[in-house]
Structure 1
C-alpha cells in the first residue's frame, strides 16, 4: 500500500508524491468549492474504485472554500490509500480555474474530471481506461444518471468503441466528466477558459472531440452519478441570459474555427443552437418583460447571422426550427405567438401543400409575417428527407445515367423516388 502525503499548505501544491512513483493510469481531478457534505460521498467513490490505488492518483483543488472542504480533503490525503495531492487556492470564480490547476499537476496517462458534488460507480475508472486502451481512443464517455436532477440519456443506448461525433448523440453531452487522454491535452495545450462561469466545459470537450483520434461510449455500466444539490449552489443556476448567450456563441465560434462550412459543421452546430440558445427563447419569454426579449434578440443577432444556415435548420424539428427562425428574422411578436402555441395542449393542425406537410403554427402562410413555409415543414426525421432525396438521386444516376435522370423524375416524381429508396 502506498503512503499518502499530507495536504499542501494554502496556495501551494504538494509535489512530494510524484518522485519515484510509477505513472498512474488515471489522474482524477476534483475541483471543490464549499462542497460539504457532498464531498464525503465523492471521495468515498474514489477510494472504492476497482482499478486500485496503485493505478490512480487524486488531485484535489480547494477553490477558496469556507465550509470545511479543505480540511476534509486533507484528512482524505493523510488517511486514504489513494495517492493524493491537495492544493488550496484563492477562489478563481469559475469551475475552470481549479480544473486547470489540477490538470497542470496531473501525471496519469488519462485524466478524469470529477465534480465534488458527484460520485463515481465503483468500476467506472477501470471500465473507462480499459475501453480507451482497447479502442485506442482519446475520449471516453461513461454512462451518467441524475440523482435528484435530470441527465442526458440519448447517448447511452449502446456501448460503442468508436462513435461518430457528427451523426451520434455524443455531441449532446459536453460536460467535463469524461476520460481524456492526457497526451492529447498536453499536445494541444488545452485548458478550460477561466473567464467563463458557464459553458467552459462544453468548449473544452467539443475541442477534445474534434481533435481526438476517436471517441468511445461505455453505456452498459453507470459510471457517473450527477447530483442535484439541495442548497441550489450550482453555478448554472446563478448566471443570466447574457452569459448563456455568450457561451452559445463561444461554442459556435469554436466549431466554425475547426470545420469548414458544410454538413459536418451544421451537424455540430445543432448542439449550441438547441441546447444553449433555444432555451433562452422558450417558455421563459412568456413570463419575462418584452424588453428583455428584445435584448436577447440583440445579443443573438450576430450568432444567427454568422452560423444559422439552411443546413442547420433542416436538421431540426419544427418546434426547434420555427422559434429559431423567428429569432434569426428578428420577429419578437411572432416568436411569442409560436411559443404560446407550443404550450397549448392541442397540437397544431397538419397541412399538406404540393406534396409536403406542414405544422400550422401561428403565422403559417401569412405573407405579412415574413416567415418562410420551410420553417413549418415536417421532415421524416431531422434532416432525413434531404438525405433521402440525395440517395434517390444517386440511385437514379446509377440506374439510368445522368442524362435520363430528369425524364425519370418527371415520370415517377421526386417523392416516389424517396419512397422507393426508403423501402430499399
Structure 2
C-alpha cells in the first residue's frame, strides 16, 4: 500500500491529528443528577452498550469511592442500547450526585464514539475510562489521582485483576510488579508493559489529551491501545502504582471474544500499528510496542484455530500480505521479544514466505500442545523440557518453564526448575485476593534445585505457589500442594 492510500485510511478512520473526529460524532440527549460540580478532580468516562447486567456493580463501585462524589464527574455515555441500561442509570441519577447521562441518538458501532463524547465533555483534571462491565476498588480513584499529583507525571498505570466467573488473577503485571515509581522514562519499560494498554488501570491528565488532540480512532478494535500508546509517547514519563485499582470482567466471555478475532480484527490492528509506526520515530519504546503486538497477532492468526477467521493456507497468506501492506519492511527483529518458541518459528516461516510450512507446523504443534496439556507428555534434555517430538522435520520447541516440588523437610520444600528463562523469585498468592502476595525465602542449592521456605501456619487451600521469571512471566509450582498436605 502506498503512502497516499494509507493516509486515506487513516483519515477515514479518524486517526489523524485534526478536528474531523469531533465532526463525526452523533448527537445526544443529556440528563444529569440534580447536583453536579464544575471543577471535579477526576472525570470517569463510561462507554456502554447493552451491559445492563453489570451496571449496578460498576455504578456502586463509583458512588462509593473514598475520594467522594464531590470530586468526581461520572459521564455515562450510552451507545443507543436496546436493553434496560437507561432505567438502571436513571435510578442512580435520582439518588446520587455527579452523574451525567448522555444518550447517543445513533449507534457508533464501538466504544470509540462514546469515549470521544466523554473527552469533549470532561471537566476533571484527570481522566479515566471505565468499561461498563468492569469496576473499581473503592480507593482506586483517590489513590490514582494522588499518585499523579505527587509525581507530577501526565499518565499513571496501576494494578488490576481479571475476574472470570468470580476467580481473580493478576493482569498486566508489568504495571505494578516493580513497586511504586514516578518519572519513569517510557524508553526503560519492558516489552511486557505493552501486553495490555487497555483502559483499565490507567489515568491520564486532561491537559495532555487536550494539548495533543488525543482521541479514539473510529474502529472497533485497537482504538484504545492506539490512544494510550500515543498518550505514553507524549507523556514521555509515567507513574506506576503497586496497589489494586481495577477489576476487569471476563465472565463467560472467552468463547464469544475469540469469535470476534476475525479478518476485520486483523486489518484494524495492522492499520493501528501502521499509524503508530509512521507517527513516531524509531526507538526502543516503539520497537517493543510493535514487537509485542505483532507477537500477539502471530499467535492469533498463525497458531490459533478457535477464532472467527478460519485457519487455512489462505488465512496465513492473507495475514503475511497485510503485514507487508501495512508495515512494509520492519527495521528490527521483533522475534527477539517473543515469549514462546512456537511464535518465533511461525514468524520465521512468514519471513521466508513458507506458508505451507506454517500450516504443517501449526498442525503438528497443536497436537504436541494437546499431548502436553492433557497427557503430560514432554521430553527432557539436560536442564530443559520440550514438547513431544512427533516429526523430526518439525522444529522442536522448548517449554519456557517447569517448576516441580520434589521433597519436603518441615517447612522447607525442594523445587526443581527447568527453564530457558531467567529465574527471579518464588511467591505465594491468595486465591481470593491475588494482590495479597509475598516473596518466599529461597536458597539455590544446585543448577536446577532451590530450597524454599514455606510458612508453617499457611492455609495451603487458600494460596497458590508461583515462580516468577523473565521479570513478569510466571509459572505455577507443580505437586507442591500434595507435599504440603502430608
After superposition, the C-alpha distances for 1:314-363 in whole angstroms (9 at most, x for unaligned) are 33353332211212222122112333454423668989xxxxxxx99846
Match of 1:132 in 2: 148
Cα deviation digits, residues 135-171 of structure 1 (max 9, x gap): 1111111211111177433433123223443433332
**Aligned ranges 1:259-298 → 2 under 5 Å:** 259-284=280-305, 288-298=311-321
Matched with 1:172 is: 195
**Structure 1 Cα separation of the partners of residues 271 and 379 of structure 2:** 34
SS class of match (2:247):
strand
Q: In the superposition, relative to structure 1, how do residues 129 and 259 fare at CA in structure 2: closer, same or farther (>3 Å)?
A: same
Counterpart for residue 12 of structure 1: 29
**TM-score, scaled relative to structure 2:** 0.64
Select 2:345's aligned residue among 300, 311, 322: 322
The number of aligned residues is 347
Q: 1:37 to 1:314 in 2, by over 3 A?
A: closer
Find 2:223's aligned residue among 186, 189, 200. 200
C-alpha deviation, 1:261, in angstroms? 3.3
Match of 1:183 among 207, 211, 218: 207
Alignment match, 1:313 = 335
Answer whether contact 1:348 1:361 (CA < 8 A) is retained: no
Which is richer in helix?
1
Alignment partners' CA distance in 2, 1:172 and 1:248: 14
Contiguous gaps of at least 5 residues in structure 2: 1-26, 383-388, 397-418, 423-486
In the aligned structure 1, how far is the partner of 2:259 from the partner of 2:162? 20
Q: What do residues 17-62 of structure 1 show as CA deviations (whole Å, max 9, x unaligned)?
A: 799x441110011111111110010000001100111111101111
Using structure 1 for the length normalisation, give the TM-score.
Answer: 0.73
Report the CA distance between 1:173 and its aligned residue.
2.0
Question: Within the alignment, does 1:85 sit opposite 2:106 as a pair?
Answer: no
> Structure 1 231/145 Cα, relative in aligned 2: closer, same or farther at 3 Å?
closer
Higher normalized strand content (fraction of residues): 2
Aligned partners of 2:380, 2:325: CA distance in 1, in Å?
33
> How far has the Cα of 1:270 moved from its partner?
1.4
1:47 to 55, 63, 78: 63
* Greater Cα offset, 339-348 or 37-46: 339-348
1:9-408 map, 5 Å: 11-14=28-31, 21-81=37-97, 83-89=98-104, 90-148=106-164, 151-157=171-177, 158-166=179-187, 167-168=189-190, 169-177=192-200, 178-194=202-218, 196-219=219-242, 221-230=243-252, 236-284=257-305, 288-303=311-326, 305-307=328-330, 309-317=331-339, 318-343=341-366, 344=368, 345=372, 362=393
Following the alignment from structure 2 to structure 1, what is the Cα–Cα distance between the partners of residues 265 and 392? 27
Cα RMSD of the aligned pairs, angstroms, is 3.2
CA deviations over 1:264-322 (Å, ceiling 9, x no partner):
43222112112234321113289733333333333333246333x44423333533322
State the distance in 1 between where 2:261 and 2:196 align. Answer: 21
Greater gyration radius: 1
1:175 Cα shift? 0.3
SS in 2 for 1:30: strand
